Structure 1
Amino acid sequence: MSNDRVFGAPTRQLDVNALKLALHRYIIDKLNDEDENFLESPRNLLSNFVNEHVQQYIRSRQIAVSRYEADQVTEELVDELVGYGPLEVLLRDPSISEILVNGPDRVFVERSGKIQQTDLRFMDNQHLQRVIQRILAPVGRRLDESSPMVDARMPDGSRLNAVIPPIALDGASLSIRKFRKDMLRSSDLIVTRSLNQEMLDFIEKAVRARCNILVSGGTGTGKTTILNILSQIINPHERIVTIEDTAELQLNHGHVVRLETRPPNADGHGEVSARDLVRNALRMRPDRIILGEIRGAEVLDVLTAMNTGHDGSMSTVHANSASDALLRLETLVGFSGMQVADKTLRNTICSAIDIVIQLTRLADGRRCVSEILEVVGLRDDTYVTNTLFKLDRQAGDVFRREAVNPATDKLKRTSF
């Protein structure tokens, strides 16, 4: 039987991938019968083992596949065993935005905003932990029983978080937010219906007018993506300093200084916090400061910077609505242990933040701007805000313009 009868031209690559997936499960079952240290064997020994069982699998099922394709599949399987295991194929798939591993037997991926379970699995928890350690080796991060959680940036820029027993009760847990190879542009937001043209025009004018912008939303709603797109609007002659816990921003700008926090070492020394970096950034002659996320004591330093000559700065915060984002800033100040009078703190927030962009993820997986809020001021110690645009969920997720014009002097320059 010819190969063409089994693999039609349009589906040939798909069938080879299906064969590889089936072989992956088959090889793992065979490895379970070997010594637990067999995976630490030299590559040539592993290659011979995999090749033998690949040929056995193909012969027993009379699969029509060329020798070249069988050798290629064998080589890829060996790469997975000595490299990142089942994650190799997922990391190479551009359609996957996140990889979520809940123990050795449950591997999920996110495609187009929706989570799907895959057929991939690891041999056991030890195999999963060995793969995690291989990923962490180049970045110098520590993961063991005394330090069972880690947040790191992979060499390609993807963000990794891992938790192992005894903290993770059902085996090691791993999540990878993949690094996009292609930069999204503002026009892509229109195509994906994340906002409409009128909203985009307003945001672009607000960035050029050096408004301080706070991007708010839940996990995975696209806050970092929005910051990347906003950076493309900034004047190329301006100097930007970015501060992140784990570097994710891909700013398409010619004058950027990127700073990343550092956790303490095994002795508890050497930590560099976001607050340390914000204070240092003020000495670096930045035109704008972009903080990846406000999550702790650095909140007051960022607000102070926005109020003292660093207009046009941006950050993100976790909150369920645009108005809640302002209250979230107050809460973070309280958590930091700093004592600030309520009225003083709210005045500082009102003076610092001009616009809040609220993001949400809809049931169909689409991420979009659900609200754009202008911070007007205080009245009777209560925030006065002006909703400029809003997503109308009852009308079928239609973007609506709420206000006729911005109310504050700075935003009046962005009149729409």
Structure 2
Amino acid sequence: MERFVAVRPGAEPPRARRSSFDDDLAEFPELRELVSDSEVTDVFVNGPGRLWADRGAGLVRATSAALDEPTLRELAVRLIALGGRHIDEANPCVDVRLHDGVRVHVVLPPVSTTGTLISIRLPRIVALDLAALESAGFFAMVPVAAIEAMIARRENLLITGAGGSGKTTLLSALLGRASPTDRIIAIEDVAELRPGHPQFVSLEARQANLEGAGSIGLERLLREALRMRPDRLVLGECRGAEIRELLAALNTGHDGGAGTLHANSLADVPARLEALGALAGLSPTAIARQTVSAIGTVLHLQRRPEGRRLVQVGRFELDARDRLRMVTDD
């Protein structure tokens, strides 16, 4: 049964937290209190006595009782084990996805010089749709009608912004507005997208085991997805050489696709794409030409004091040297 909570004007709707994750943290009331908070999106433990939480407006020091280093390390090992992996001095940096899409990243000393580090990303139990985002003020600077029109005409979209700016939230909402007959194939490093769509299929990358075997990367998953007859192809986050496969697919008849990219500003996007293209062996000219023909619109997000916002809309063009540049719709 869903829990309904009043939302203050301009605030992002709160979220119900999964009780199963609370049960996993029953031995650790300090963290249980935070992950049970309907407004918390991230929890960070930066070593003994340094606990922080983000409720959508930036990090705030948590007032819960501090964890000492032995207890903190025990918690880290337990959470990683819940994700089916192992962490120790020989393998001190591990990222796992728990049930319901909870993401946990741990770094142990001596790689971490301040003690055991734990980063927890908490997903929404019910994905926000465009109407909910509009009510929260997400589209205060860019009209939602313009975004809906892009979805209707099956424009390929790139959603950019810094970490925690709402890229995955917006992408899920956009996919939820696609035609129910569209077959959506999403490729993600860690499965986070949860659109309300009947034809949504997610493929998740797999890390290598302790022997270094069994890894399945995003590049391979993109090739596999193309064999599954997608109507809309989605890459959860562009972060490496897989950009080559994505642009190639979007340039060969796959419209209505989308992806996200970390970038601090719209002006930084061309440089970020050139850097990813270099990892894939593409020259700046090649990545520019591929991008201009593949991506129709760029939506840039920011996390502001009043909340997460879609702040700019831009398009790619070639400059006089056949390099990539951004043109805003302002």
TM-score normalised to the size of structure 2?
Answer: 0.87
Tell me if structure 2 keeps the 8 A contact 1:105–1:120. Answer: no
Name the counterpart of 1:381. 322
Verify: 1:335 aligned to 2:271, yes or no. Answer: no
Aligned length: 308
C-alpha distance in 2, partners of 1:378/1:288?
Answer: 29
SS of the counterpart of 1:343?
helix
C-alpha distance in 2, partners of 1:251/1:210?
Answer: 17
C-alpha distance in 1, partners of 2:69/2:25?
Answer: 14
Q: How does 1:12-91 map to 2 (within 5 A)?
A: 83-91=27-35
Tell me if structure 1 keeps the 8 A contact 2:171–2:193. Answer: yes
C-alpha displacement of 1:205:
0.8
Once the two structures are superposed, residues 21-80 of structure 1 have per-residue CA deviations (whole angstroms, 9 ceiling, x without a partner) of xxxxxxxxxxxxxxxxxxxxxxxxxxxxxxxxxxxxxxxxxxxxxxxxxxxxxxxxxx79
Tell me if structure 1 keeps the 8 A contact 2:301–2:309. Answer: yes
Verify: 1:230 aligned to 2:174, yes or no. Answer: yes
Tell me if structure 2 keeps the 8 A contact 1:216–1:358. Answer: yes
Which 5+ residue runs of structure 2 have no aligned equivalent? 1-22
C-alpha distance in 1, partners of 2:325/2:274?
Answer: 15
Name the counterpart of 2:107. 163
Tell me if structure 2 keeps the 8 A contact 1:80–1:87. Answer: no
SS of the counterpart of 1:144?
coil
Once the two structures are superposed, residues 105-137 of structure 1 have per-residue CA deviations (whole angstroms, 9 ceiling, x without a partner) of 111111242322122245421211211222222
Q: Considering only CA atoms, is the larger Rg found in Structure 1 or Structure 2?
A: 1
SS of the counterpart of 1:381?
coil
C-alpha distance in 2, partners of 1:241/1:264?
Answer: 23
For residue 302 of structure 2, what is the amino acid of its counterpart?
Answer: T
Verify: 1:372 aligned to 2:329, yes or no. Answer: no
Which 5+ residue runs of structure 1 have no aligned equivalent? 1-78, 389-401, 403-416
Name the counterpart of 2:203. 259
Name the counterpart of 1:287. 231
Tell me if structure 1 keeps the 8 A contact 2:155–2:255. Answer: yes
SS of the counterpart of 2:328?
strand
Tell me if structure 2 keeps the 8 A contact 1:213–1:357. Answer: yes
Name the counterpart of 2:244. 300
Name the counterpart of 1:277. 221
Verify: 1:176 aligned to 2:126, yes or no. Answer: no
Q: What is the root-mean-square deviation in Å for CA atoms of aligned residues?
A: 2.0
TM-score normalised to the size of structure 1?
Answer: 0.70
When residues 378 and 132 of structure 1 are mapped into structure 2, their CA distance, relative to the original with a 3 A threshold, is: same
Tell me if structure 2 keeps the 8 A contact 1:356–1:372. Answer: yes
Once the two structures are superposed, residues 231-289 of structure 1 have per-residue CA deviations (whole angstroms, 9 ceiling, x without a partner) of 11111101111111111111111011111111111111111111111111111111111
C-alpha distance in 2, partners of 1:182/1:146?
Answer: 38
Higher helix content, 1 or 2: 1
Q: Which deviates further from its counterpart, 236-245 or 152-161?
A: 152-161
Q: Which structure's relative contact order is higher, taking Cα pairs within 8 Å and 6+ residues apart? A: 2
Verify: 1:96 aligned to 2:40, yes or no. Answer: yes
Percent of aligned pairs with the same amino acid: 36
C-alpha displacement of 1:299:
0.7
